[in-house]
Chains A and B, each alone.
Chain A
Amino acid sequence: MKHFSLKYTLLTYRLDQLWFPIAFWMLFVIVILIINEPSQSTDMSLAYLGTAVPLIGGVMAAYAILDDPALELRFATPIRAAQIIIERTLMIFFIQAVCAFSFYIFAKSIDVDFSSIGTVLDLHLSWVIPTITLIALGTFGSIVGAQTMIGAFFVGIVWIIQIIIRDGMAINNWKYFYIFMGITNPEHPDLHANQIALLALSLIFFLCSWILLHRQERYI
């Protein structure tokens, strides 16, 4: 691919931000090992995969594009806005995917039961879709506000509100935008519609981010 290098994308990533997903991963692993009780281990594992992974992804995405020391130099090169967004958000998703899969392997190794969620695909969709949604929201928030903090704030607010009113979210007209349905209501008849709606919403966030990122002067 023109104008792209995986090696340098990795080398220029702010490694000091990796403590955030690693710390959460370790916290949940340690708590599960300490509790050592099957039903609570399942709840903790689902909480990590379905809520913590998306939250961390969203917050990291808020910092992924604008928190770049060479942003002005990058803007002066012919790389497209879409490439900047794809390159950086894929990286965040990749980090979250590594955390989620390694956690899943750990959970399976101690016989955590995920059968309540459905198939293996259902389980993984229950963290993949919320993670994509919050990554898109974090990216959009930081770009629309031209500040990384605003993106992180958007993600935090949406996450906490949906956690608090989760029972109501699953039954009213907002159910299509309920991020945690895959984990809290795996047998909900509108789960697939919810997942499609969340993906569509993510696409809209990414499109808006792409349009806004053309106005480079807002970010330097």
Chain B
Amino acid sequence: MIEIKGLTKTYGVGNKTINALNGIDLRINSGMFGLLGPNGAGKTTFMRILAGIVNPSSGFVKINGFDLTTESGKHQIKSMLGYLPQELGMYTELTAIQFVDYMAILKGIDDSRKRNQRVHEVLEMVGLAKESNRKIKGFSGGMKRRVGIAQALVNNPKLLIVDEPTAGLDPEERIRFRNLLVNLATDRVVLLSTHIVEDIGQTCRDLAILAKGQILFRGSPTELTKAAENHVWTLTMQGMEKPNHDLTVVSMLHLAEGTQYRLVGSNAKDYANAQPAQPGLEDGYVWLMKQSNQMVEMI
């Protein structure tokens, strides 16, 4: 279980101070937890703090009872951590099996027989058993990601942190990856950070939206979807006409009778032919982000 209270992180850039995280309070239980947010929202900083790589400026983080703000607590947490960073750097001259084996050693698995067995197990789990003796430099992006998840799993972590894991993967790889994460979440905390709404909808029962360093929403995908109820519309327009700026275009489709827009906004009364639509998860996300941006503009 992860307990976070008043977590802040500030960076100094020149004379400016940037608040990457601004008073985060969260409690995360076992299972899959999604962290959603636009680029630059502070997701990676948040993930790196939980991985013990970045020190918080203030606040309190406890993972399975260990305090992340102390050196000994951090050491304990890293021993039970599996981490897949957004920008995955690897020793590409090593084979997949060597790389995962090395990471297992760094994580403290000293018994070579047990380690060897576990390395084979995780490579099998990610579908790389047959390719395990090939050098990583010859792997595709998806295969490298799979090696990344194998190294994250090799110490059988209690906490698995994956930051934008599906970026750059083809649809088949993404589905495979999502399913793998869901399977892993049965007996541990899996923290999935992404800006791809669909990935969260397909995998998480619990999620948070992070925007401008603050938690904007905390709840289930169903609750997020509900947030956009009565704020989603479809509208068909002809010629060069476009919806006004109060409405956010979620998607558009060119049809014979004109362009069909899917819109999110407080109302579309100005348009007689606007039809209310059933919201989806993405609509809920767009609606909340829209609300948040309007609040910032008002301030």
Is B89's CB under 8 angstroms from A69's CB?
yes
Is A78's CB under 8 angstroms from B107's CB?
yes
- By a CB distance below 8 angstroms, the chain A residues around B266 are none
Contact (A77, B106) CB under 8 Å given A12-B91, A12-B94: yes
Any B CB within 8 A of the CB of A70: yes
Is A78's CB under 8 angstroms from B79's CB?
yes
Closest to B84 in A: A73
- By a CB distance below 8 angstroms, the chain B residues around A15 are 93
A68 to B93, CA, bound (A): 13
Is B53's CB under 8 angstroms from A75's CB?
yes
- By a CB distance below 8 angstroms, the chain B residues around A214 are 71
B48, B53, B91, B108: the one contacting A70 at CB < 8 Å is: B91
Q: How many residues of B contact A (CB 8 A)?
A: 31
Is A77's CB under 8 angstroms from B102's CB?
no
Any B CB within 8 A of the CB of A217: yes
Any B CB within 8 A of the CB of A74: yes
Any A CB within 8 A of the CB of B92: yes
Any A CB within 8 A of the CB of B205: no
What interface size band does chain A fall in? 20 to 34
Contact (A8, B102) CB under 8 Å given A73-B89, A216-B54: yes
Closest to A72 in B: B85
Q: Please list the residues of chain A having a beta carbon within 8 angstroms of any beta carbon in chain B.
A: 2-5, 8, 11-12, 15, 68-80, 214-217, 220
Q: Please list the residues of chain B having a beta carbon within 8 angstroms of any beta carbon in chain A.
A: 48, 51-55, 71, 75, 78-79, 81, 83, 85, 87-94, 98, 101-103, 105-108, 110, 151
5 pairs of residues in contact across A and B, judged by CB atoms under 8 Å: A2-B110, A3-B105, A73-B103, A77-B106, A78-B108
Apart from A72-B85, A72-B89, A73-B103, what 16 extra A-B contacts exist at CB < 8 Å?
A: A3-B105, A3-B107, A4-B105, A8-B98, A8-B102, A8-B105, A11-B102, A69-B90, A72-B53, A72-B87, A73-B89, A76-B51, A77-B106, A78-B79, A78-B108, A217-B54
